[in-house]
Amino acid sequence: MKFKNILVVYSEKLSRKHFDNLAEVKKRLEGRNFFVLRADRLIEKYFENIDLIITVGGDGTFIRAASFVKEIPIIGINSESEHSEGALLSLDEHDIKFLGEILDDKHKIKKIPRIKVKINGKELSNLALNEIYFGSLNQFHTSKYSINFNGLKEEQRSSGVLVATASGSTAWYKSARGRPFKGNKLRFIIREPYFGNRIFNPKLLKGEIKNGGKIIFVSKRHSGGIIALDSNYKYKLEKDDTVEVEMSEYPLKVITKKL
């Protein structure tokens, strides 16, 4: 696979090592058509006619760039592996010297599931790679909603709901006492569900959403409800807004090294 137009996205890190590694990436791309943009300046128009994205930074930069694309392949380079987990990234700073040959022929493509969201029947343009959060904007406020899953429906109060992909299951989802998982599926977990003495006795506390399935929420807050994608994009919800969450038909295409 040959790449004609490459977008290099770099993080706002200020360390010398980060910028040295960014310079090394640009050196390895000499002779190719590429341009460079800082992650906080990304907008949709910069992805027109691009057939490869390279991110230089950490997972946050990778996730932000990935949210703009449906079918463009992406490669993530961890520019400071001693400081950044880089759980989603294909390469670290020691691999940059091989970048040319990786892009020419010594690579494979891994497909990572993503999440799509509809609000009142309208699909959002951005996709989530790790997780979506549904609940209250201020998390010290109670999230109020109804949940509909696998033919069961109930009204709940909680600290919100997380729906995660396998790649996101080792992040916020795990911190919320979810168990990391693998495979082409989603899982949801209710954060700190409220059990009342009389009205609230929730049973839909966690579950697995297979490809083709969905989970539906209806916001019951008069104000302050949101859905957030990868802690990156927030959408306000009004009372009785309906949110549908399911697997996207566009998995992220991640370039990795051939073993």
Residue intervals of the chain classified under CATH 2.60.200.30 are 115-247
8 A C-beta contact, residue 131 and residue 162: yes
CATH second-level architecture of 115-247?
Sandwich (2.60)
Instruction: Show the tokens assigned to 1.
Output: 């696979």
More confident: 189 or 13: 189
> What pairs with residue 77 in β-bridges?
56, 91
Annotated active-site positions, please? 59
Question: How many angstroms separate the CA atoms of 89 and 116, rounded?
Answer: 22
pLDDT over 90, % of the chain: 81
Place of tokens 């209250």: 136
178: three-class secondary structure by DSSP? coil
Place of tokens 């951005």: 126
Residue range 36-54: average pLDDT?
94
Question: How many angstroms separate the CA atoms of 208 and 134, rounded?
Answer: 16
Question: How many angstroms separate the CA atoms of 43 and 168, rounded?
Answer: 24
CATH superfamily, domain at 5-105: Probable inorganic polyphosphate/atp-NAD kinase; domain 1 (3.40.50.10330)
Residue intervals of the chain classified under CATH 3.40.50.10330 are 5-105
Containing 196, the helix (H) or strand (E) segment is none
Place of tokens 């190719």: 32
Q: Which of 241, 245, 248 is nearest to 219 (CA)?
A: 241
SS (H, E, C) 81-134: CCCCCCCCCCEEHHHHHHHHHHHHCCEEEEEECCEEEEECCEECCCCECCEEEE
User: Tell me, what's the pLDDT at 2?
Assistant: 76
Lowest-pLDDT choice from 17-26, 98-107, 215-224: 98-107
Residue range 189-210: average pLDDT?
89
Concatenating the DSSP letter of every residue in 25-43 gives HHHHTTTSEEEEEEGGG--
- Residue 133 CB coordination number (10 Å): 24
Lowest-pLDDT choice from 93-102, 146-155, 172-181, 238-247: 93-102
Write out pLDDT tens, residues 81-100.
877 777 889 898 999 998 99
Q: How confident is the model at residue 259 (pLDDT cuts 50, 70, 90)?
A: low
Write out pLDDT tens, residues 46-90.
999 999 999 999 999 999 999 999 999 999 999 988 777 778 898
User: Tell me, what's the pLDDT at 174?
Assistant: 95
Tell me the average pLDDT of the chain: 93
219: three-class secondary structure by DSSP? strand
User: Tell me, what's the pLDDT at 168?
Assistant: 93
Q: What is the pTM of this model?
A: 0.90
Write out pLDDT tens, residues 119-155.
999 999 999 999 999 999 998 899 999 999 999 999 9
